[in-house]
């Protein structure tokens, strides 16, 4: 099994606690509401939303994939960190065992925030993932983050 990882940071004028609540804690209901073409629904299959919870993410009509199973690996509300893994589904493209994501939202001196995201692709055998596939994943993550940011800017009392 091979491992490919990358990191990215996205800054926002939204305060860290508000961004963490919307982008992480309330994502299961907020993202399908503001990006239904990307995420149609999120259903908890087992667990209570905390560590060990398994979720079924059904993608919207704008996605090339149908669904994935997502496992919550870690959640620390005080330190605004969240880790989860894609463990099953067509987004693994038959070349990945899993994809792990580690997210941390930190406050900035100007009152805004930075979202730090580390993605780790675990490939099957000696399978390779292309730069284009990684770039597409980064762009989707950035798009979701910016959609949440736009929603919070347009709805300042939402959270």
Q: Tens digits of per-residue pLDDT, 67-104? A: 999 999 999 999 999 999 999 999 999 999 999 999 99
CA-wise closest residue to 72 among 89, 42, 56, 52? 52
What are 31-66's pLDDT values in tens digits?
999 999 999 999 999 999 999 999 999 999 988 899
pLDDT at residue 62, as a whole number: 82
Distance between CA atoms of residues 28 and 3, nearest Å: 28
pLDDT at residue 134, as a whole number: 85
What are 108-132's pLDDT values in tens digits?
999 999 999 999 999 998 888 888 8
pLDDT at residue 60, as a whole number: 94
What are 13-40's pLDDT values in tens digits?
999 999 999 999 999 999 999 999 999 9
Query: Which strands form 2-12's sheet, in the order they lie side by side?
Result: 2-12, 113-123, 96-107, 81-89, 67-76, 54-59, 39-46
């Amino acid at each position: 099994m091979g491992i490919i990882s990358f990191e990215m940071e996205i800054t926002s004028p939204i305060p860290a606690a508000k961004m963490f609540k919307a982008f992480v804690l309330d994502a299961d209901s907020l993202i399908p509401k503001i990006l239904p073409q990307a995420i149609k629904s999120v259903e908890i299959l087992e667990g209570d939303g905390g560590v060990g919870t398994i979720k079924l993410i059904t993608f919207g009509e704008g996605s090339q994939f149908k669904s994935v199973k997502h496992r919550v690996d870690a959640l620390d509300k005080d330190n605004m960190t969240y880790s989860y893994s894609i463990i099953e589904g067509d987004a693994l493209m038959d070349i990945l065992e899993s994809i792990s994501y580690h997210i941390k939202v930190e406050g900035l001196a100007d009152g805004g925030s930075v979202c730090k995201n580390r993605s780790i692709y675990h490939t099957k055998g000696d399978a390779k993932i292309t730069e284009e596939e990684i770039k597409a994943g980064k762009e989707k993550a950035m798009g979701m983050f910016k959609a949440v940011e736009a929603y919070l800017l347009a709805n300042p009392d939402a959270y």
